[in-house]
Amino acid sequence: FAPSTGPVPDVTIPSGPSVRCDTYLYPGCTVSPFYDSLMAKLCTWGQTFEESRTRMLNALNDFYIQGIETSIPLYKTILNTDEYKSGNLSTDFLIRYNIIDRLKEDLKSEKIEKSDAALAAAIVYSEYFKSRVQNSTTNNSTWKNKLG
């Protein structure tokens, strides 16, 4: 989890009731190797542990930082474990509960979900374009319509 540096073309900072984010990030900024590696501090509050945990997950899902690597996926993995939810915490939490292996699985699943979503979007767009061509009443070209 070495600090990541470089330009940040876009960023969305989470906000809302009982959500606080202290950060220097803004769209177009650059994270310098000479700057503190703490880019943001995100805090949530709730009347119960579960309410606070859920708010944190929502805030992490809303947090978008383009251009650099962050440790947001690790925090989401930790917050979703049954061990964390039950308060079974210790200084060896990451090792004891194989959090890094779980993170790798979560990232793999997320990549598959994004690929599936991209494929579905391509199919929908293709079918939409195909139906527009087939339903076109004007023919401004000498080319024959080979679709359909």
Output the DSSP codes for 43-111.
EE--SSHHHHHHHHHHHHHH-EE-SS--SHHHHHHHHHSHHHHTT---TTHHHHTTHHHHHHHHHHHHH
Residue in the structure block whose two tokens are 């070209």? 141
Instruction: For residues 48 and 87, state if they share a domain.
Output: no
Per-residue model confidence (pLDDT) at position 141:
61
Of the three residues 70, 88, 112, the one that is the final residue of a domain is 70
Instruction: For residues 53 and 85, state if they share a domain.
Output: no
Per-residue model confidence (pLDDT) at position 112:
62
Q: Please name every residue paired with 64 in a beta bridge, in sequence order, or none if there are none.
A: 12
Instruction: For residues 61 and 87, state if they share a domain.
Output: no
Instruction: For residues 46 and 2, state if they share a domain.
Output: yes
Domain extent at residue 101: 72-135
Of the three residues 70, 96, 117, the one that is the final residue of a domain is 70
- Report how far residue 94's alpha carbon sits from residue 4's, in angstroms, rounded to the nearest whole number: 21
- Report how far residue 64's alpha carbon sits from residue 21's, in angstroms, rounded to the nearest whole number: 13
**148 residues of the chain, pLDDT tens digit each:** 677 899 999 999 999 999 999 999 999 999 988 877 789 999 999 999 999 999 999 999 999 999 998 989 999 999 999 999 999 888 998 888 888 888 888 888 776 666 656 656 666 666 656 666 666 556 566 666 555 5
Per-residue model confidence (pLDDT) at position 125:
63
Per-residue model confidence (pLDDT) at position 3:
73
- Report how far residue 97's alpha carbon sits from residue 79's, in angstroms, rounded to the nearest whole number: 12
CA 116 remoteness from chain centre: 16
Tokens (6 digits) for 66: 């383009």
